[in-house]
Amino acid sequence: MKKVIITAFILGFSVSGYAQTYLTLKQSKSLALQNNSKVKNSALEVSAAQEMKKEAYTNYFPKVSATAMGMQALDPLLEMKMQGGNLPVYDGNPANLGSATQFAYMPDVNIGLFNQMALGYVNILQPVYAGGKIKTANKLTNLNIEVRQKLQKLSENDVLLKTEQQYWQVITIQEKQKTLDNYIKFLDTLYNQANTAYKNGVIIKNDVLKVSIKQSELRVNKTQLENGKKLSLMQLCQTIGMEYSPEIILNDNLDDLSFPQTYFVSNSEVLPNRAEYQLLEKAVTASKMETQMKRGDYLPTFGVGASGYYLNQLESNQKGIFNGMAYASLSIPISDWWGGKHKLNELRFKEKMAQNTLNDNKGLLNLQMEKAWTDLTEADKKVHLIEETLTQTIENLKVNQDSYKNGLIQLSDLLEARALRAETEDKLIEAKSQYKTAITNYLLVTGR
């Protein structure tokens, strides 16, 4: 679906440089989740955590190492001297060996070993027990993935809220532009009427100038709204990763407002679903695992292995030597126990601190949800109050128009009544926009 949406936008821009492109809130959120750099980085952090898990799992397998080296020494590393002399000639009879009459002379012999050699060495070590650290480390990597996923969810929520706020900001300006256009049309009609009345000597020129001044003021407001819409739309495009175009039209309005009770949920029911609460729980679990990891440093480690080597002195009259062995190793960190007890106590205190943080923030999260609900209901009441005020300003304007036609009030009173209606309409637009944003914020802080 996301690819279809993006393709549709590309086609929309490529058909004509002047073609209007309509963008809904749903499409904006979908584009933001796919293109926003903050969301992308969160997804990459999840992928990195998954690779860390795979790396930690390899610690269950044997460790294999291989070494190869060759050398040429200036002098032999090992020298042996054998003293020569007269050696008795043995005639085969042991009885004659001690009283031999014939001797053979053997000169002194010097033997040099390891003058040059090549050595290859392979070792395989399988950890059998490592104080539980391998198992705990793998659990920690699983926990890290879960934490990164929760953080990714929070990043997505932040981007979605930001997208909706910016989206409704553009809608607000668009609605104000419509209100301003109606205001301008009203003044254009009134100017023609006032100018005709002035030419006929019914009113003075000052009344015509009052209308003209108001028209100039609205033209300035119109320019400000156009510039504000451009900047707001550019900001939205930046957030959702879309190329800016002045022809983008946001295809939503502020009229569809549901009652606040439609969104109400119990705080106690949705609190466990909040990513923030789950992260606090993960922090408590992580602190306990850290204690387990440290405890493993003070436990014995046991492993079995095998090694083999090949040695060749690179002599033409000598062959290489191969040998191997199997072994078991046991390591007991006896002296570490003295300080280890205090380190473990320190980590247990940190476990309690993490639990206290969870309990404290649990109350803050409940307070945040309660405030979001209060903001939502207040925004709803504000909309209804301003709607009532708008009804009154419309009626007031109608009365002033009739009174002006009958010559009962001055033109300035009519202008004031029309300005009051425009001001109330703008306030209503802003109140509706705030209500839309309040709905989104309440849904986010209740884990939805």
Tens digits of residue pLDDT in 397-435: 999 999 998 888 899 999 999 999 999 999 999 999 999
Q: Does residue 6 surpass a pLDDT of 70?
A: no
110 occurs within a structural domain? no
Q: Does residue 14 surpass a pLDDT of 50?
A: no
Residues 6+ apart with CB under 8 A from 445: 274, 365, 368, 369, 372
Q: Does residue 266 surpass a pLDDT of 50?
A: yes
Q: How crowded is the C-beta side of 86, counted as CA atoms within 13 Å?
A: 5
318 occurs within a structural domain? no
108/364: higher pLDDT: 364
188 occurs within a structural domain? yes
Structural domain containing residue 413: 2-71+131-300+334-445
DSSP 17: T
DSSP string of 258-321, one letter each residue: --GGGT---HHHHGGG-HHHHHHHHHHHHHHHHHHHHHHTTS-EEEEEEEEEEEE---TT---E
Number of Cβ atoms within 10 Å of the Cβ of 392: 13
94 occurs within a structural domain? no
CA distance 163 to 142: 32
- pLDDT tens for 27-78 read 999 999 999 999 999 999 999 999 999 999 999 999 999 999 888 877 776 6
307 occurs within a structural domain? no
pLDDT band at 1 (very low <50, low <70, confident <90, very high): very low
305 occurs within a structural domain? no
51 occurs within a structural domain? yes
DSSP string of 71-120, one letter each residue: EE-SS-SEEEEE--EEEEPP-S-GGGSTT---EEEE--EEEEE-SEEEEE
Q: Does residue 145 surpass a pLDDT of 80?
A: yes
Structurally, how many domains does the chain consist of?
1
- pLDDT tens for 286-327 read 999 999 988 988 889 999 999 998 988 777 677 888 999 998
Q: Does residue 80 surpass a pLDDT of 60?
A: yes
CATH number, domain of 373, equals 1.20.1600.10
